[in-house]
Chains A and B, each alone.
Chain A
Amino acid sequence: MATVVLPRSLSALFPLAQRQVAVTGGTVRELVDGLDTRWPGMRDRLCDPGPVLREFINVYVDGEPADIATVVTDRSVVHVLPAVAGG
């Protein structure tokens, strides 16, 4: 299972959500599906319809910028990070 690291501002929206979680999946999209299964509604916070990642949500797989279709492995570390936005 890949290791997914979530930002505090996202985990704060879901009860008992962990900042670091092991999720099964072969792509970022499948990891998002896994997160949504565990915490219903999390997909909507990360993705626009498509699904595509929201404009100001950045995902990195093993340190490299990723999109919804990026392949992950069981040893991957996936960081979900809010982009510089807001005001």
Chain B
Amino acid sequence: MSLVAGRPWEAEIAMDRRLLVLLGTRKGAFILEGDASRRDGADAWRLRGPLCEGWPINHVCQDPATGTLYAGGGSPWFGAAVWRSEDLGQTWTHSSAGLTYGDAGPKMRSVWHLTPAHGVLYAGVEPAGLFRSEDGGVTWAHVEGLSKHPTREGWVPGNGGLICHTVLAHPADPARMWVGISSVGCFATDDGGVTWEARNHGVRADFLPDPYPETGQCVHKMTLAPGRPDRLYQQNHCGTYRSDDAGRTWICLDEGLPSTFGFPIVAHPTDPDTVFTIPLNGAEQGRYVPGASMAVWRTTDAGATWRDLREGLPQDHAYLGVLREGMAADDLDPFGLYLGTSTGQVFASADEGRSWRRIADLLPPVLSVETALVGA
């Protein structure tokens, strides 16, 4: 664990309520800082970064229980690590102690996702596996049960690698979790990670001879529905899905969407029937928004119908995509939505996705977006 010296911007920490949009990018973490009014205007958002020494950062998040910021990624030279900041991103430490498969195992390449839950910090990594830290990311232990799954020998990487990119914790029961691995699928544990079950029934793998294998599905992202933790939504390489039985069976929600391919999926903060996704034109068609015209798609009836939300988003020659961690909601009312693009723009909506405005541009490709509400 090491300390990185403070940055010259040395921002003062105001005591009013501020909204942080936490960005992981190909060239470091960034923080967009605004006030809770989410007002418009050129001076509404202040950008800080690049943080974490410009490492590729796949995910930045805040532990709401402690206020600590975490960033996960990997340097081509110096390996995988989890970065930590206790002063809202002004100074950072980093550690990878215990973040290893050992001398005989594969080399750790990168940290892809961080989930703080029930006093534990979980890290999904590449090559795919799950690690846990009980001391805020200083030291790590391998959750071996997932790696010992009988299908492990057959796991194959997707385009982004063999990555554990989603870790969902049951809101009330620490023993229950779900993970998403590309291109392997969804797994769940009901015993705190000792044993895991593949839960992919009903999810297509159109790129395999058997389109409904036990594992091999290319899950891109999953999210839990609020207030209904046995309901999950999934954006997959091959469709959009909902499960109402904790992932045991999945229902395809593709009808009404412009494509079956996309990455992010974000749940409404309180309504289990509302979810947002950003379809792209297809896996082999360039992976940008259909017709180069950008839209966020929303269902308010659990996927029975969809509508596109376009106001303020670029509608012509928008050859961009949004990656799996690239969209997030805030905790305000009405809630806001934020998305970061593969071409370095950040768009924000203060009205639950109905209208959008660009709040940052010319950033490196955005890999993740999260929010944190801080201050009195």
Closest to B26 in A: A87
B-facing mask of A54-73, CB < 8 A → 1, else 0? 10110000000000000000
Which of B89-97, B174-182, B302-310 lies at the interface with chain A? Answer: B89-97
Report Cα–Cα, A9/B1, bound state, in Å.
Answer: 16
Q: Quick check: A13 and B2 within 8 Å, CB to CB?
A: yes
Is B100 located at the chain interface by the 8 A CB criterion?
Answer: yes
Of the residues A14, A46, A50, contact of B103 by C-beta under 8 Å: A50
A-facing mask of B88-129, CB < 8 A → 1, else 0? 000000111100111101011000000000000000000000
Q: Quick check: B94 and A54 within 8 Å, CB to CB?
A: no
If the complex has contacts A40-B1, A49-B102, are A13 and B97 also in contact, measured as CB distance less than 8 A?
Answer: no
Is A26 located at the chain interface by the 8 A CB criterion?
Answer: no
What is the predominant secondary structure among interface residues of chain A facing chain B? Answer: loop
**What band does the interface of chain B fall in when counting residues whose beta carbon is under 8 Å from A?**
20 to 34
If the complex has contacts A13-B2, A41-B97, A44-B97, are A49 and B78 also in contact, measured as CB distance less than 8 A?
Answer: no
Report Cα–Cα, A83/B75, bound state, in Å.
Answer: 12
**What band does the interface of chain A fall in when counting residues whose beta carbon is under 8 Å from B?**
20 to 34
Of the residues B94, B101, B108, contact of A13 by C-beta under 8 Å: B94
Is A48 located at the chain interface by the 8 A CB criterion?
Answer: yes
Closest to B78 in A: A45
Report Cα–Cα, A18/B247, bound state, in Å.
Answer: 52
Report Cα–Cα, A50/B5, bound state, in Å.
Answer: 30
Q: Give chain B residues whose Cβ lies under 8 Å from the Cβ of A21.
A: none
Is B144 located at the chain interface by the 8 A CB criterion?
Answer: no
Binding site for B on A (CB under 8 A): 9-10, 12-15, 39-42, 44-46, 48-50, 54, 56-57, 82-83, 85-86
Binding site for A on B (CB under 8 A): 1-5, 53, 76-79, 81, 94-97, 100-103, 105, 107-108
In the A-B complex, the 3 residue pairs with the smallest Cβ-Cβ separation, listed nearest first, are A15-B3, A45-B78, A85-B76
15 further contact pairs, Cβ within 8 A, besides A39-B2, A41-B97, A54-B78: A9-B78, A10-B78, A12-B4, A12-B53, A13-B4, A14-B2, A40-B1, A41-B1, A42-B2, A44-B79, A44-B81, A48-B107, A49-B101, A56-B76, A85-B77
8 CB contacts below 8 A, A to B, read: A12-B4, A14-B2, A15-B3, A15-B5, A42-B2, A45-B78, A46-B78, A56-B77
